Amino acid sequence: MRVKHSKYKNTGILFELLTRQLTSDTIAGNNPKALDFLKKHFNKKTELLKEYKIYHTLATQKYKKDAQATMLIEELIKTHEKLNKSQLRREKFNLIKEIKKTYNVNDFFKAKITDYKIMASVFNLLENKKATALSIVNSKVTLLEHITEKPTSTKKDALIENFSKQDKDTRLLTYKVLLEKFNDKYKGLEENQQTLLKEYVNSVTNSPALKSYINQEIKEVKKILTGYSKKVKDKAVAIKLTETKGMIKPLCKKSSVNDDNVINLLNYYELVNELKTIHG
């Protein structure tokens, strides 16, 4: 059973989306306003931070025994009950208000969420006043199974582990170095190819804006191929261009952008760039 809830009110999701936005802003070289929001609304004086810690614990803590997991869930529910609810509602309202003023709210909240089912289950237990008895039971079962689930791999990537232990300034510097290496590695690509890759890397949320950008570029590529299919003198080449144009399809509304979509568009760019070089 899927738990229905609002992402706007889910503190765990709000925190994850802000950290993603911070990464995106940093890579793009934009002013990382998400960092200001995190410092302002998730500090030791706020109820939001206390609530986020509960979400985070339920999402990440692991136990081998059901009894331990059950005890953890019960204790964290009690801890949540002790939070200042009026202050929490006010802090959450102010945070969402600032997010709406700063970002395209549709793009911001349409991102796919890691462990969405877990976050929704935590929300259902802690905050959903309209939750039915059955949905409460289902949420507890979901969390119990998650907490006692055996990890798929016991080996943790040493590089990632070391990175996560670095302070904020060091991580920010790392992002900048990665961006510089990205620019250096792909400097041999044409401008349209570099722009596509940067759009893909920067859009860590896989937002509708990225899909819209790719579909617009696909439309432009098909238009260019149509022009060259009429312009080239070699009939065999003209036929191949027409066939290629027919194979290029825009992304549908329900699909998400993946690596294959980007690679395909890069290849179409390569064809267009080659045609421009040969035929002008």
Q: How large is the average pLDDT for residues 148-175?
A: 59
**Phi, psi dihedrals of residue 151, rounded to the nearest 5°:** -65, 145
Say which residue the tokens 């609002």 belong to.
6
> Mean per-residue pLDDT for 81-90?
96
Q: Give pLDDT tens digits for 173-193.
A: 665 665 565 556 556 667 777
What's the pTM? Answer: 0.58
More confident residue, 266 or 57: 57
- Residue-level pLDDT at 132: 86
Length of the chain: 280
8 Å CB contact between 108 and 21: yes
Q: Which two tokens stand for residue 137?
A: 């039971």
d(CA 68, CA 187): 54
| pLDDT confidence band for 154 (50 / 70 / 90) | very low
Residue found by looking up tokens 């065999």 in the block: 236
Answer yes or no: are the C-beta atoms of 25 and 116 closer than 8 Å.
no
Tell the burial category of 33 from Cβ atoms under 10 Å away from its Cβ (0-12, 13-18, 19+): middle
pLDDT the model gives residue 14: 94
Q: How confident is the model at residue 171 (pLDDT cuts 50, 70, 90)?
A: low
The token pair that represents 139 in the structure block = 């949420």
Please compute Rg for the chain using Cα positions. 24
Chain center to CA of 45: 28
**Residue 25 tokens, joined:** 């802003």
| Contact assessment for residue 81 and residue 96, using Cβ atoms and an 8 Å cutoff | no
Burial of 12 (0-12, 13-18, 19+ CB in 10 A): buried
Q: Which residue has the higher pLDDT, 258 or 241?
A: 241
Residue 90 half-sphere exposure toward CB, CA atoms < 13 A: 7
pLDDT classification of 233: cutoffs 50, 70, 90 = confident
**pLDDT tops 70 at residue 19:** yes
Interatomic CA distance for residues 104 and 87, integer angstroms: 26
pLDDT bracket for residue 267 (50, 70, 90): confident
Confidence class for position 196, pLDDT limits 50, 70, 90: confident
- Cβ neighbours for 256, distance < 8 A, ≥ 6 positions apart: 112, 206, 211
